Amino acid sequence: MKILVLNSGSSSLKFKLYEMPSKKVLAQGLVERIGEERSLIHLRYDGPTYESSEPVHDHRHALEILEKIFPRFGILPSFKELGGVGHRVVHGGESFTAPTLIDATVRSAIEALIPLAPLHNPANLMGIDAFTALAPETPQVAVFDTAFHQSMSPEAYHYAVPDSWYREWKVRRYGFHGTSHFYVSRELARLKDTPLEGLNCITLHLGNGASVCAVRGGKSIETSMGLTPLEGLVMGTRSGDLDPGVHYYIHRCTGKSPEEIDRILNKESGLKGIAGSNDMRVIQHRMEQGDESAKLAFDLFVHRLRKYVGAYAVLLDRLDALVFTGGIGEHSAPVRQALCKGLTALGIELDLAANEAVRTDARPVHSAESRSELWVIPTDEEGVIAEECYRLVEENVKG
């Protein structure tokens, strides 16, 4: 069965085509700058890389172009040949605790959650609606970033605000990157050949967006992101944890609107706000050249991360492993080394040679003396979405 995975942004469409259940990748790519005069189409498959620049009016047009390109290169005769389509949906609120087949009711529920994710859910719906218009009979599945964290206890997900805020407007902590945290914790258990139910780990998804998750027995018990992806760690362009009073103070000092302040905290803060760049590779290079702002950005990133790891280790009682994933987590040896250097109180010791080795596979990087294991595990969110889509489509056919 062929499964297409879509990740729809406001002006982009990432895609990955799988043969299931083998999870063989048949094609993958990106349509970007949707709605502009010179949109870009990138396609990788078992052949030469295909790139094109042409107007792409909207997400439906992007899919129409893909449906024409796929047969040209012998990738897929038609969308009608697909067994299902899996969509990444950022916010499932309290309504969705697991992946689900999309019908009119589910689509309406995703739309109703737009106030909780105004930047993401509308874009995710664009992808769902566009594919429905082209192939309405093809089963579609929504996989939610928030679903994995619905196992958090009330004391972990509640904010200390008036209860009416939660009852009426669902103000609470939801967490994100759930598909990634789920995958790497499950993969850790597989690599260690140990039951997931008996494993305690902290998973670190570190990229332009970054979050930490405490996982006990395969279930999220705490995570760093909250109502929105703004809470928690220092990120590429997001501030992470911030005194809520800063919003009103900046409004009073500058006259900036709440919307403008929110934009700055999401788009112009974090590493970019401190060092002028949201690329950790650039920051590390500049830090090596003696750039003080780059050093501050790096140190702040690691300091915040260390605080969360220490707190989550206490919540878990026993820490079996710390897992690094995401662009920074997988590829930045300096970040891993700086973090672990500050975790000696937890008995954590890094194998410096293993940490410095340039590899792309999953591997341990702890020393023999380390009390907890340290792993680098590449994430595979699209693969999880493909698996869940395939599983639900199969169950629907049988059931």
* Positions marked catalytic: 145
Give the HSE-up count for residue 13: Cα atoms under 13 Å, Cβ half-sphere.
Answer: 29
Asked if residue 227 lies in contact with residue 176, where contact means CB atoms within 8 angstroms, the answer is: no
- Sheet containing strand 84-89, edge to edge, reads 50-54, 39-45, 24-32, 12-19, 2-8, 84-89, 140-144, 100-101
Looking at residue 318, what DSSP letter applies?
Answer: S
Asked if residue 188 lies in contact with residue 375, where contact means CB atoms within 8 angstroms, the answer is: yes
| Residue 286 burial (10 A CB sphere; 0-12, 13-18, 19+) | buried
DSSP track, 43-101? EEESSS-EEEEE---SHHHHHHHHHHHHHHTTS-S-GGG-SEEEEEES--TTT-SS-EE
Amino acid at 172: R
Asked if residue 319 lies in contact with residue 313, where contact means CB atoms within 8 angstroms, the answer is: yes
User: Hey, how many other C-beta atoms are within 10 angstroms of the C-beta on 218?
Assistant: 17
Q: Which helix (H) or strand (E) holds 259?
A: helix 258-267
Amino acid at 390: Y
Asked if residue 9 lies in contact with residue 56, where contact means CB atoms within 8 angstroms, the answer is: no
